[in-house]
């Protein structure tokens, strides 16, 4: 009963911060349930996976993103009209994108990169425009966070940097829109093509993939860095929350340094994943160069983290920081 009461309380707080984004999060959760049911009831397969797996993945991802944005809005008090408008814009765009993905799944065809018919091309074009608008809306929220004053400076930077990583992660999705070498050759010879772009590097989409997510186990997959980049707005604030609760006497300045170091490390991690995917290499089969890159990243991250955590500056802001978030 207490857990249910706490959930209801958080939903009310999110609704007060942004009703459109909160409603979108709840609607996408309902869409997730419907898509999961579709996986078991509809036995059709699209690009090697159940037809409703992609709608389910986008539903849960959209629900998490919209819910996170509604939560983030609780910290933004600047530019109320602009921020409110961004909430409406992002909500409508998110619903439109998932609706098109569901519509195409119901038709038994793909949504992304599909230009096989005029209808498919028009829907993919609408999705591309909607995603661009969503990205611009995310930049608007990032700018608002940059203007917002926080009672705890470090916490403000954890939020800003998390949103910055998400903006970069969303932009990385543009790499999937480039025609593959095979598609370019067909276009150069004057032949029509049914797909423009792909998420798999080195092979057509639809090959063997990891259970649940479908990431290629044999070739590069640009969905991997895109996924980790998009979720920076959840992961970095979570790390920041844990650091501030267990700050062990560190000053706000040092906590801010920790936030920047964590964001730099996270971007480095996403960068390595992008480099690996662009070389046509599967996440589960890294070569020696990739392993060396990950080793350097890990050693650098751990060393910087230990150095910052050992640099403790005791001050009067210890208690205040724990009570502001």
Four-residue CA torsion sign, 285, 288, 290, 296: positive
pLDDT category at 322 given cuts 50, 70, 90 is: very low
Q: Higher model confidence: residue 324 or residue 232?
A: 232
- pLDDT value at position 36? 96
CA-nearest of 88, 86, 96 to 129 is: 96
Which residues of the chain form beta strands (DSSP E)?
45-46, 49-50, 200-201, 220-221
Indicate if the pLDDT at residue 192 is higher than 90. Answer: no
Indicate if the pLDDT at residue 183 is higher than 60. Answer: yes
Encode pLDDT of 47-60 as tens digits.
888 999 999 999 99
- pLDDT value at position 1? 64
Tokens 């986008």 correspond to 58
Indicate if the pLDDT at residue 143 is higher than 90. Answer: yes
pLDDT category at 301 given cuts 50, 70, 90 is: very high
Indicate if the pLDDT at residue 2 is higher than 80. Answer: no
């Amino acid at each position: 009963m207490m857990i249910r009461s706490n959930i209801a309380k958080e939903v009310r707080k999110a609704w007060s911060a942004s009703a459109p984004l909160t409603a979108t999060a709840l609607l996408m959760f309902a869409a997730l349930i419907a898509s999961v049911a579709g996986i078991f009831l509809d036995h059709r397969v699209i690009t090697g996976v159940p037809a409703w797996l992609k709608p389910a993945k986008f539903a849960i991802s959209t629900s998490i993103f919209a819910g996170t944005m509604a939560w983030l809005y609780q910290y933004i008090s600047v530019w109320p009209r602009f921020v409110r408008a961004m909430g409406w814009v992002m909500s409508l765009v998110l619903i439109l994108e998932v609706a098109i993905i569901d519509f195409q799944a119901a038709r038994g065809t793909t949504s992304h990169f599909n230009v096989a018919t005029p209808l498919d091309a028009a829907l993919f074009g609408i999705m591309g425009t909607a995603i661009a608008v969503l990205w611009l809306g995310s930049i608007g929220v990032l700018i608002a966070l940059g203007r917002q004053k926080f009672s705890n400076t470090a916490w403000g930077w954890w939020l800003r940097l998390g949103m910055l990583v998400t903006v970069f992660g969303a932009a990385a999705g543009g790499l999937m829109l480039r025609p593959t070498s095979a598609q370019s050759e067909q276009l150069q010879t004057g032949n029509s093509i049914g797909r423009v772009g792909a998420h798999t590097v080195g092979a057509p989409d639809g090959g063997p993939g990891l259970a649940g997510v479908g990431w290629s186990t044999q070739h590069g997959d640009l969905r991997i860095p895109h996924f980790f980049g998009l979720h920076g707005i959840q992961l970095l604030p979570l790390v920041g929350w844990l650091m501030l609760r267990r700050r062990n006497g560190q000053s706000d300045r040092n906590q801010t340094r920790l936030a920047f170091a964590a964001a730099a490390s996270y971007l480095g991690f996403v960068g390595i994943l992008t480099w690996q995917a662009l070389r046509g290499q599967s996440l589960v089969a890294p070569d020696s160069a990739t392993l060396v890159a990950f080793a350097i990243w890990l050693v650098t991250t751990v060393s910087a983290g230990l150095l910052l955590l050992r640099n403790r500056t005791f001050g009067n802001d210890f208690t205040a920081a724990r009570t502001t978030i």
